Amino acid sequence: MSRKRKPRGSDFKAKVALASLRERKTVGELAKQFDVHPTQIHSWKKQLLAGAVGVFDSGPRRTQATDEEKESRELYEQIGRLKMELEWLKKKAAQFE
């Protein structure tokens, strides 16, 4: 019989990953303690280490990057709309020729 997956919250994942980083217990011991597969612990630890850089980003630089991302998203949306309008106009113009 297969086991059902347990939904894990981000707080639980962070707790397990931090315990793994402390290296006070082996991954096998942590797996037993938290009832999680050791491979999953390694995965969460890698995710934590990869995302740790974002924690120390400075505020102004970070907001500038998000503003630029927002502006580029809006521009891409506008480009998409204009392309759709152009295709529609080409289709309608072809009917009158």
> Model's pTM, two decimal places?
0.55
pLDDT truncated to tens, each residue of the chain (97 aa)?
A: 577 778 888 899 999 999 999 999 999 999 999 999 999 999 999 999 988 877 777 666 666 777 888 999 999 999 999 999 999 999 999 988 7
Q: What confidence tens digit (pLDDT) does each residue in 72-96 have?
A: 999 999 999 999 999 999 999 998 8
Q: Which residue is it, tokens 């082996």? A: 26
DSSP type of residue 3? P
Amino acid identity of 96? Answer: F
Residues of 63-72 as b/e, b for ≥16 C-beta within 10 angstroms? eeeeeeeeee
Q: Return the domain boundaries, the chain.
A: 9-52, 59-97
